Amino acid sequence: MNTNKPAVPNTTVTRNVHDLDRTTDNLYESLVVIAKRANQISNNVKEELHGKLAEFASSNDNLEEIFENREQIEISKHYERMPKPVLVAMDEFLNDKIYHRNPAKEQK
């Protein structure tokens, strides 16, 4: 686990709408790019979390063991504290870390 403080804010940040359309010249196209990247990030984090929590799964757990597994709780808390995927995607987009293209624009 990466224990460094993320550069991405954990809360909602007010953005200037004009910053979003500077690379695509279209606000809605920018939002689609950000949304698709956020879905990719979300899926990756979900797979990673399920992989880590699968280590704790067993077929004969009793109720006490489920509630007392501190390591599993710490892993879950770590993922809850992570910035939301849309905030990460927005930061990547504004810092030109996302490669995107529009084939419809390229044909013209």
pLDDT at 70: 81
CA of residue 27 relative to chain centroid, distance:
21
Residue range(s) defining the domain that contains residue 73:
22-55+66-98
- Give the residue-averaged pLDDT of 12-33: 90
**Residue range 20-49: average pLDDT?**
94
Domain annotation covers residue 106: no
Mean pLDDT of the chain: 84
Residue 103 lies in a domain: no
| Residue 4 placed within a domain | no
Is the pLDDT reported for residue 61 higher than 90?
no
Exposure letters 58-75 (e unless 16+ CB within 10 A, then b): eeeeeeeeeeeeeebeeb
DSSP annotation of 7: S
Position 39 in a domain: yes
In a domain, 12, yes or no: no
Q: Work out how many domains the chain is built from and give that number.
A: 1
Whether 88 is in a domain gets the answer: yes
pTM: 0.78
| 34 — pLDDT class (breaks 50, 70, 90) | very high
Q: Is residue 93 part of a domain?
A: yes
Q: Would residue 16 count as lying in a domain?
A: no
